[in-house]
Amino acid sequence: MTQTTLRAQLQGQKTDTDLLMLMEDIATACQMIADRVRHGAFAGVLGTANTENIQGETQKELDVISDEIFQQIVGANPTVAALVSEEVDEVNWRKQSPQAGDFVVYYDPLDGSSNLDVNLSVGTIFSIVRLDAATAPDAAAVQIKGTQQIAAGYAIYGPSTGLVITVGQGVDGFTHHPGSGEFLLTQPAMNIPPQTQEFAINTSRYDLWEAPVRKYIDDCLRGASGPRAKKFNMRWCASMVADVHRILIRGGVFLYPKDSGNAAQGGKLRLMYEANPMGMLVEQAGGASSTGRGRIMEVDPTGHHQRVPVILGSRDEVAVIEEYYRD
């Protein structure tokens, strides 16, 4: 049986040529990053780079390498006006006079890189918006609300290299085929079950959580005899890509809420290249995404490294969590 390639699937969804070519460039960059991750131990690049990114997080050597690959491949696309990376402070403008129709690409080149040393799944997250007018190349020009995303996705580097994307027509999962070099459609029309008995959260921050989050988790952990009247499982990978991928496959909710330890920054995860693209993917798959107090993609950006609380996954369970916040 002939399997559908990434290009064929995008063409079948009537994706315009410029966006199709950009998505293929992103896929190529992810394929190259996957190769560097796979051979990282042999090249001696699994350790830290002795540098920090703009968030004050210690960078791994592969964080830096992955960012360079993304800049090299995706930044060379003639329709890209700017790149916004987790690993770089300033907006990387590729055009001096951005025009309507040009793309801005937001990305986290290697999400979950703290997992590299223990050989767990990591990934790349990306979001694409199209400028609707000519603009000056300044930081304010890339502060674009998540509802204006035209495409989003992530690559996951695990037992196989996966690519999960949306261009606003549902969510499709592809797997890289080493023999042909193609990304082949293996998980079409991914759909998140509306109900779940599984949550993902970093419980080491329990004492820092706001009261609604603590009460929600306490009630879940009380099992069938508690107020939720059912047993819950907890999962946590410390890699947003891996946790969200599991939710897209079998349901669940992912929480990285604002707490007393990160409230001054607005939360932990970044709006433009983590929360918005994952929010779009989850919603396109029938799920929901929230800050606890509103839809993630409706947050007005105030900076390209802005942080927000993130709650996303099975639609009915996200609604339950929002009810805890209202109460």
Q: What is the pLDDT of residues 163-172, one digit of tens each?
A: 999 999 999 9
Q: Is 86 marked as a binding-site residue? A: yes
- Look up residue 205 and give its DSSP letter: G
Q: Is 112 marked as a binding-site residue? A: yes
Residues 129 and 171 grouped into a single domain? yes
Mind listing the pLDDT tens digit for each residue in 249-308? 999 999 999 999 999 999 999 999 999 999 999 999 999 999 999 999 999 999 999 999
Read off the pLDDT of each residue in 2-6 and give the average, rounded to a whole number: 88
Residues 164 and 202 grouped into a single domain? no
Is-contact 124 155, C-beta < 8 A?
A: yes
- Look up residue 186 and give its DSSP letter: E
Q: Is 268 marked as a binding-site residue? A: yes
For residue 235, count CB atoms less than 10 angstroms from its CB and return exposed for 0-12, middle for 13-18, buried for 19 or more: middle
Q: Of 155, 187, 219, which one is at a domain's C-terminal end?
A: 187
Residues of the domain holding 213: 198-326
Q: Which two tokens stand for residue 301?
A: 């950006």
- The answer as to whether 160 is a domain residue is yes
Q: How far apart are CA 256 and CA 309, in angstroms?
A: 6
Residues 14 and 125 grouped into a single domain? yes
Vertex 274: Cα angle to 273 and 279 (nearest 5): 110
Residues 14 and 160 grouped into a single domain? yes
Q: Where residue 67 sits, what CATH number does that domain have?
A: 3.30.540.10
Q: Which two tokens stand for residue 171?
A: 């969510």
- Listed residue (303, 282, 288) closest to 86, CA to CA: 303
Q: Is the pLDDT of residue 237 over 80?
A: yes
Residues 260 and 142 grouped into a single domain? no
The share of the chain scoring above pLDDT 90, in percent, equals: 91
- Listed residue (7, 55, 57, 60) closest to 33, CA to CA: 60
Q: Is 14 marked as a binding-site residue? A: no
- Stated pTM of the model: 0.95
Q: Is 153 marked as a binding-site residue? A: no
- The answer as to whether 96 is a domain residue is yes
Per the structure, the count of domains in the chain is: 2
Q: Where residue 289 sits, what CATH number does that domain have?
A: 3.40.190.80
